[in-house]
Structure 1
Amino acid sequence: MSRPLLSLLLLCTIVSADPVPLFDGNSLEGWEGDAKVWRVQDGAIVGGSMEGNARNEFLATRKPYKNFVLRLEYKLTGTEGFVNGGVQFHSKRAEKQEHEMIGYQADIGGGYSGCLNNELRKPQFLGVADKKLVNSIEKPGEWNRYEIRVEGPHIQLSINGTKTSEYTEKDPAVPLEGLIGLQIHGDCKAVISFRKIEIETLPDTPK
């Protein structure tokens, strides 16, 4: 086999890599967080309590990721307070408050579903979704599909197959690699669930 053909085959293999599950449906293997907040129920990762959540809590992967397409299903239910959660990426644990995370967040609930949040950084909101659009595609209290696509500095969020926000990072100091995390917001009585979590790794150099 010629060297150019071999290189082309290797490139195609990288580009078309099959998605890999980040959750086995039975345990929190590969994740770390407060076991009093996060658990596995009925094949889903569940966080928070209807009795109340005093502060933000995150369940994070032990492994960092760079370029990828992350797909998952989420369900958020709540009765009081700021009923909200999210999916962190290119993030890290805060040094002084280990229960917090710093980095990008695909927001869920509280009127911010589909928005790109900049958790513990400024400016806070980087990609604001059209609320009318989100209201027409999201099913509150039911399972919804999130897709987070990250290629270099470019980020695109979609809910149930519809793009909700898009952003290109221009600050070279912002890291383009980090942990993935699942959030339940504080100051609310709410439970958030995640299932069918899978990641498709993309080449380090975007096309």
Structure 2
Amino acid sequence: MKILLTLSLLNCLIFGATACAQETATAQSADTVVLYAGGDLAGWVGRDDLWSAEDGQIVGRTTDEKPIDGNTFLIYEKEEFGNFELTAEFKIEGGNSGIQYRSRVIDEDKFVVSGYQADIDDANKFAGILYEEKARGILALRGETVTIGADGEKTKVRFGDAEKLGNGIHPGKWNDFRVVAAGNHLQHFINGAMTSEVIDEQSDKAAKSGIIALQLHKGPAMTVRFKNIKIRKL
């Protein structure tokens, strides 16, 4: 990456803005991993009765006739990620879901993971918060910047109104989620607006890297859809 950036700078100086833009795009594409852009679920593992690929989308679906008794996940198994910018589109109808990152598998048979989660829900109460699945729970609510000290104590600063931020999220329609994980600094954005932020200084619990996964939550019937999932490594 350093070599690519050096060449890019040299091209900018010699050949001008057009070459600069071309070289920058090349450097960025070299660090971008497409997790899902349509097609089958190659590279992902989860319950075949709950997850499918439909119309260029990853679809997770539960029914009232066959409810699930615990949260389960579709796991991207090709690679783990540390510092990155993740972008994805999602649509949810009923229930609760989320995008796991820097997570780990704790039950291979039931596809259960633990770790940071960019939360999504149809009721629009938790969408955008930072939740830690099977661990410390809610780390930052919508509209909060939270610093977690080495001892686990939280210092909270409110940067936005949770309800107003929620008005920019649209259950039942497509939304853009962006997650930025840079060192111990974690940020969530939905439809361009930052919804939560955490500086995690609790080194014995803060994950530095891990898997990406998508959640289906136990409870009432629900359908969640994802498409255009990409990661740009930082």
Deviates more, 1:37-46 or 1:96-105: 96-105
1:197 & 1:155 partners in 2: Cα distance?
18
Q: How far apart are residue 94 of structure 1 and its match? A: 1.1
State whether structure 2 residue 125 is matched by structure 1 residue 107: no
- Aligned to 1:64, the other structure's residue is in SS state strand
* CA deviation vs aligned residue, 1:33-63 (integer Å, no higher than 9, x gap): 1111110011100002243531311001112
Which runs of structure 2 are paired with 1:185-196 in the superposition (5 Å)?
185-196=217-228
Which runs of structure 2 are paired with 1:1-207 in the superposition (5 Å)?
9=6, 16-18=27-29, 19-51=32-64, 53-54=67-68, 55-62=70-77, 63-78=79-94, 83-95=95-107, 98-109=110-121, 110=123, 111-122=125-136, 124-130=137-143, 131-173=162-204, 174-202=206-234
Higher helix share: 2
TM-score normalised per structure 2: 0.76
* CA deviation vs aligned residue, 1:16-45 (integer Å, no higher than 9, x gap): 522331113011111111111110011100
- Aligned to 2:86, the other structure's residue is in SS state strand
Q: How far apart are residue 134 of structure 1 and its match? A: 3.0
Aligned-residue sequence identity (percent) comes to 32
- Aligned to 2:164, the other structure's residue is in SS state helix
Deviates more, 1:125-134 or 1:182-191: 125-134
Q: How far apart are residue 11 of structure 1 and its match? A: 9.1
- Structure with the greater alpha carbon radius of gyration: 2
The corresponding residue for 1:205 is: none
CA RMSD of aligned residues (A): 2.3
* CA deviation vs aligned residue, 1:87-134 (integer Å, no higher than 9, x gap): 000001114874321100000014100100011112x11111043133
- Aligned to 2:28, the other structure's residue is in SS state coil
- Aligned to 2:167, the other structure's residue is in SS state helix
Say if 1:38 and 1:7 are closer, same or farther in 2 by CA, change over 3 A.
Answer: closer
Say if 1:41 and 1:14 are closer, same or farther in 2 by CA, change over 3 A.
Answer: closer
Unaligned 5+ runs, structure 2 = 10-23, 144-161
Q: Which has the higher contact order (CA 8 A, sep 6+)?
A: 1
Unaligned 5+ runs, structure 1 = 203-207
For 2:116, give the aligned amino acid.
Y
